[in-house]
Structure formats: C-alpha cells, structure tokens
Amino acid sequence: MKFFVIRIKRNIITIIFLLFTIGLVIFSKGNLSAAKSGLSLWATAVVPSLFPFFIATELLGYTNLIPKLGKIFEKIMKPIFNVPGEGSYAFIMGLISGYPVGAKIVSNFRQEGICTKEEAERLVSFTNNSGPLFIIGTVGCMLFGDTRTGVLLLLTHILACISVGFVMSFWKKNSKNSHHCSKKINSKKQAVTFSNLGEIISTSITNSISTILMIGGFVVIFSVVISILNQTHITSFFGNAISPILQLFNIENPSQVGSSIFSGILELTNGISNLSNLHIKSLSQSICISSFLLGFGGLSVLLQVYSIISKTDISIFPYFIGKVLHGIFAIIYTGILLSFDFFNLDLALLTSILHIC
C-alpha cells in the first residue's frame, strides 16, 4: 500500500493531465462551449483592460520614472514594507491595473537587479492585486448591481493589501542577502530617446503580447476545467464537503455557497459570479466571501504569476502565503465596515475616502 501511494505521488501530475485529456474527450460538447466563453471573456474583458497597462509598464521601464519614485517613497516603503522605494511603482501599478501586472513588474525588477531575491518575494506578495475596474465595474455594478458594494470591496482590498505588505516585511528579514541592490535601474535597458523610440515601442508591444496570450491560455484552460468539474459533479461534492464548516458560521445555502467558493478558488470570476446569483437573504455573507476570493485571486492567477516569475529566482511560496493573508484580512475588514452600516453612508463620501486611500 505504501509503495502504491508513493507511486501515485510521483506520477500525480501525469495522472492529472491524463484525467484532463480524458475529460476533454468525454465532455467535448460542454467543454467547447466553456472554451468559447473563456475566449470571449479574454477578448472582451481581459485584453482591453490589461494589454494597454502591460505596454505602459514596459515603456515606463525605459524612463527615469522608477528611480525618481524610488527616491520619493524610499522613506515610506523601506520602514513599512522592508522593500526599496522603487517598489512603490509596482504597488501603484498593481493596484491600478490588476492581476498580474504587479507580478510582471516585480519580475522585471528582479531581472534588472533593482531588488534582491528576498525584497522581490516581499513585493510580489502584496503588489499583485485586483484592479478597481474589475472590482467596482465587474463585481460591484455588473454582478451585485450596486456601486457601493464595489467601493466597499475595493476599499477593503486596498486595506488588506497594505496589511499583507506590513506582515510580509518580516519575511526573511535577517537574511544575509537581504541588503538592497545598488545597481542602476536601467543597467539592462537602454534609456528611451527619439532615435530608439520605435525599437522600444516594438519590443514593449512584443513582450506584452506574449504575456497577454499566456493569460488567455490560462483563462480558456480554467474555463474548461471548471466545466469538467461541474459536469462530473466534483464541484458539488466539494461544496457538500465544506458545508458543515459553513454551517458553523450560519451561512445560508451552505452547499451552494461551498460550490461557489470552490469555483472561486480555482478561477476568481466564475466563483464571484456564482455567489452573486445565489438567493441569499443576507447579502453581507456573499460580499464577505467575495472579498476573500478577490484577495486570494484564485489558482488561475497563482499559476499565471508562477509562469511570470519562473524566469527569475523568486519563490512562489511567499506569494501564496501573502494571498491567503490578503483574503483573510479582506474578509475581516469587510465584516468590520458592514457592522458599521457601511451602505447607509453617502456614495460621494465613500468615493472621497477611496481617493484619500
């Protein structure tokens, strides 16, 4: 029996890929529809929202903006997050643009010698986040039908992100290699001028196309995976398995909520969409769970980040820990704000608070 278990552990990836291939054949009709939906989601939502940001971050990497931000925010980023001031660029762009722009910027930082391995691992744990366009527009307005819900989720998402950054500042704090790199920002990149502008734009677009195609592949694959899991009732099985835990927290429709959580852990948008469609009297429960899923990001995003940082020596483990903490902090902050009757506040006041944050 022990020998059999060891053999399974050694071949677990092969077994998963084999089962995936078999599922593609058996459930080909449903998978075709899921693949089309995933491709449509990528083309209509992901590409328009992320592709311009990828190009922009690539272009800005050839300018002197990053070192200037480093000098301005060094006194904030170093004592609070234990990262160089240049990390403020990854933090800001990660919040504005969404997954996985933050990870892409941190990966570039590491390749260019802007930060050490430990600093990069701290940075990637809290700079890769959901963007305001997705949280307010897609989740708040489209799925929950309420702008206030989107503002609430974005506010708690940012607060949780900052909290994770502070906690992860202690990651390998006493490491011998944790001293800040002293290399110049553009040591591996030529500075942009009018003479090389065309070449730099072309390179930036090419690199961005490669990244956006990779993300599209993940979106389509996970759409098909979720379709297979739904058709084999595995999603329902996991929902029923965790329903006793959800009942301890007085969650309504625990089996359906559990299935939605499982879907969200795999792929963020599907899980939150399922939650918003459930008939739950207490809307705050759906909002709190959605805040956790937004913070965690899902396995699809985690693998996207893993594929991006695999070109460097950055470990995926601190990122995973950071996203779990992000989800936990987000659900705590969401519960606190909801307890203060958040939705009775004026929307203009909420927007002002968000701008201040």
Express each pLDDT in 237-259 by its tens digit.
Answer: 988 898 888 888 888 888 888 88
pLDDT > 80? residue 181 = no
Residues 6+ apart with CB under 8 A from 97: 49, 50, 53, 57, 131
Of 123-127, 213-217, 319-323, least confident by mean pLDDT is: 213-217
Of 72-86, 210-224, 269-283, least confident by mean pLDDT is: 269-283
160 near 330, Cβ under 8 Å?
yes
Q: How far, in Å, CA of 55 to CA of 207, rounded?
A: 8
Count of CB atoms situated within 10 Å of the CB of 1: 5
Q: How far, in Å, CA of 336 to CA of 69, rounded?
A: 33
Q: Work out the mean pLDDT of the chain and round it to a whole number.
A: 84
73 near 277, Cβ under 8 Å?
no
181 near 116, Cβ under 8 Å?
yes
Q: How far, in Å, CA of 273 to CA of 264, rounded?
A: 9
Structure-token pair, residue 151: 């503002």
What residues does each domain of the chain span? 30-356
Up-side HSE of residue 46: CA atoms within 13 Å toward CB?
25
Cut 0.75: pTM above it? yes
pLDDT 10s digits, 300-333:
899 989 999 998 999 999 999 999 999 999 999 9
Q: What's the longest Cα–Cα distance across the chain?
A: 68
Reduced to 3 states (helix: H, G, I; strand: E, B; else coil), residue 322 is helix
Q: How far, in Å, CA of 146 to CA of 284, rounded?
A: 13
How many Å from the N-terminal Cα to the C-terminal Cα in the chain? 56
Q: What is the pLDDT of residue 119?
A: 93
Kindly list the distances between the CA atom of residue 65 and the CA atoms of 92, 185, 192, in Å, as whole numbers in the listed order: 13, 10, 12
DSSP 111-147: HTTSS-HHHHHHHHHHH----HIIIIIIIIIIISS-H
